[in-house]
Amino acid sequence: MSALIQATVAKKRCQQLPLHDIQKLVLQGYDLHRSRYFVLTVANAKLARQFLTKLADEHWLTTAEHHRDHVAERLHGQQCPVSLGLTFKGLVALELNPRYQAVFKNKARAFAEGAHFRAAAHLADTGNNAAAFWKPEFQPDKAHVLLTLHADTQQALAQTQKTLQDMAGSAFEMVGWHNAFEGQHLEETAPARKARRVHFGMLDGISQVRIHGATDKAGTHEPGELLLGHANDEGFNAWRLATERPDLSGTSGLSAQAQSAKVASFFKNASFCAFRPMRQYVTAFQQFLDTQASEWDVSAEYLRAKLLGRWDNGQVIRTGETSAPVAQAGRLDDFKFKDDPAGLGCPFGAHIRRMNPRDDGVVPTRRRPIVRRGMPYGPAWTPAEPNGTDLERGLLGLFFCASLEDQFEHLLSEWANANPMGVPNKGTAKDPLIGNHSQPHARFDIPQDMDHDPLALQGFTPFVRTEGTLYAFFPGLHGLHMMNDSEVFGPRACHD
Ligand code: HEM
């Protein structure tokens, strides 16, 4: 296809995606330095519904139609952009019609059950990561609403919080407003907006899932991988709901077809999100690298690159490299694992090769893309930090997708916490960065050339601890406004 035809197709798709109906955080995210996330508990359903729809009516909720200038203008007036997610228990507390609840139960079982109950079997959260040890904000009966604010300054966040709290009145329990999750990028300079680092010292946010129609650039995935009501990469739309005819007769007077269309419109352009704060133990990670580096007579920088799959400057690690090559701006994501079939550059067990195997021949063709938003929290690590006193720091992970089971949960339970794919020299260790390591003799293999045995790293301890996880539904703006529709939300008569 010529470049001109490609650009025309991309533009057409862009026009087809209703940007005004999709939350900006879902489709595009923000490049701001700070964030504040609240997990709120509904105290008064009617007041909560009024507050949440007001967020849209008064343009606090930003959509994908709002460009950077719009966001900047609002921030200038100390109004941070707001995004909104609702847990299944939250939708029940907000009095969502049971017939709509049933659609979630049929089509999004993980969401309806909630992360707390799926942690052990579907997220590999066992031992110290078990849901029983999660922060109290993740108690399933309390975690109802996830509100996120983004800004460059603490002052803007505090001002917006105050305004929103006043607007909400007694809609929510106060405790959620007081126990916010504070995100902060490690560097707050203008160039850092394009190159963010995580606490282990690596460059992040390089590889992003690009959805067709999200911008005027061509995407890598169909909208249905992220948004409900659209076809996914396999051409399948699980949320078309053409055959769902929840019986609303007697309440709506709508034809069966119109009822079906109405139900479908509630889900359209929404997305599912997993909010997962993960504490990082940087001292432990650093000590592991230093010990292994001296044991194998290589540099700690080399090992860090092998564990992640990228050098500290973001460049993917290729066969034969022992130190970072000069980074090629704009080309950091320009590589194929097909070109490295034996894992001589990027090992099979490396974080990025597990999380996005791309065209790796060892993986079935289903790609399972996940959209990563979120931000680090806590102070930057310094080598001067005394041993054993790792301060509270980590990553406030926000992962968006259309199917929590097929995408988010599969990545954690199968790709991160089972043996890596690929033969030979794949090792037996879990994902070196995020795996729930429990076997000190598990091996992370770093294949060498034909004449040398692989380096076999052992002695992994958990470098990340799960602080909690909740699953939230980020509605489209149309769906959110249905909170005003008494057939969809509100108290129901006993016979209803
Ligand atoms: C504290 C926890 C984590 C840290 C420090 C971390 C760090 C990183 C870093 C440094 C990169 C490379 C930058 C890039 O390619 O954009 C990356 C990539 C990635 N991570 Fe993580 N990550 C964490 C947790 C997770 C989790 C829980 C998931 C999945 C649910 C995940 C999924 C991914 C994906 C999909 C990529 C992109 C791979 C690619 O497309 O090449 N990460 N991560």
Residue 390, pLDDT score: 81
Residue 247 lies in a domain: yes
Q: Tell me, what DSSP letter sits at residue 66?
A: -
The pLDDT of 12-32, averaged and rounded, is: 86
Select, from the ranges 8-17, 77-86, 116-125, the one with the highest average predicted confidence (pLDDT).
Answer: 116-125
Nearest CA to ligand 1 atom 35: 355
pLDDT per position as a tens digit, 434-454: 999 999 899 999 999 888 899
186 Cβ inside 6 Å of ligand 1: no
Residue 297 lies in a domain: no
Q: Where residue 249 falls among pLDDT bands split at 50, 70, 90? A: low
408 Cβ inside 6 Å of ligand 1: yes
205 Cβ inside 6 Å of ligand 1: yes
The pLDDT of 247-263, averaged and rounded, is: 73
Residue 384, pLDDT score: 82
Residue 35, pLDDT score: 98
Residue 10, pLDDT score: 47
Q: How far does the centroid of ligand 1 lie from the alpha carbon of residue 413, in Å?
A: 15
The pLDDT of 98-106, averaged and rounded, is: 95
352 Cβ inside 6 Å of ligand 1: yes
Domains held by the chain: number = 1
Nearest CA to ligand 1 atom 38: 352
409 Cβ inside 6 Å of ligand 1: no
Residue 459, pLDDT score: 95
Q: How far does the centroid of ligand 1 lie from the alpha carbon of residue 371, in Å?
A: 10
Residue 148 lies in a domain: yes
> Does the pLDDT value for residue 5 go beyond 50?
no
> Does the pLDDT value for residue 269 go beyond 60?
yes
| Mean pLDDT of the residues in the chain | 91
Helix locations, 274-430, DSSP H = 282-296, 300-308, 351-355, 410
Q: What is the secondary structure of 116-161 as a DSSP string?
A: HHHHHHHS---GGGSGGGS-GGG-TTT--EEEEEEESSHHHHHHHH
For the chain, the distance separating the N- and C-terminal CA atoms, rounded to the nearest angstrom, is 55
Residue 276, pLDDT score: 98
pLDDT per position as a tens digit, 281-308: 999 999 999 999 999 999 999 999 999 9
Q: Which tokens in the block code for residue 433?
A: 């960065």
Nearest CA to ligand 1 atom 8: 204
Question: Could you tell which of 372, 406, 409, 471 is best to mutate to test the pocket of ligand 1, judged by most ligand atoms within 8 Å of the CB?
Answer: 372
Single out the residue of 221, 220, 146, 231 nearest to residue 180, CA to CA.
Answer: 146
As to burial, measured by CB atoms within 10 angstroms (0-12 exposed, 13-18 middle, 19+ buried), residue 16 is: exposed
To the nearest whole percent, how much of the chain has pLDDT over 70? 94
Nearest CA to ligand 1 atom 31: 355
Kindly compute the dihedral angle of the four CA atoms of residues 236, 239, 245, 251, in this order, to the nearest 10 degrees: -160
Residue 306, pLDDT score: 98
Residue 331, pLDDT score: 87
Q: How far does the centroid of ligand 1 lie from the alpha carbon of residue 372, in Å?
A: 8
The pLDDT of 386-415, averaged and rounded, is: 92
Residue 394 lies in a domain: no
395 Cβ inside 6 Å of ligand 1: yes
464 Cβ inside 6 Å of ligand 1: yes
pLDDT per position as a tens digit, 168-191: 999 999 999 999 999 999 999 888
> Does the pLDDT value for residue 15 go beyond 60?
no
Q: How far does the centroid of ligand 1 lie from the alpha carbon of residue 352, in Å?
A: 6
- Ligand 1 atom with the shortest distance to the CA of 278: 1
Residue 211 lies in a domain: yes
pLDDT per position as a tens digit, 302-350: 999 999 999 999 999 999 999 999 988 888 998 999 999 999 999 999 9
Look up the domain containing 261 and give its range: 3-275+469-484
Single out the residue of 210, 248, 215, 241 nearest to residue 226, CA to CA.
Answer: 210
> Does the pLDDT value for residue 2 go beyond 90?
no
- 62-71, 251-260, 286-295, 301-310, range with the lowest pLDDT: 251-260
Residue 190 lies in a domain: yes
Nearest CA to ligand 1 atom 32: 355
278 Cβ inside 6 Å of ligand 1: yes
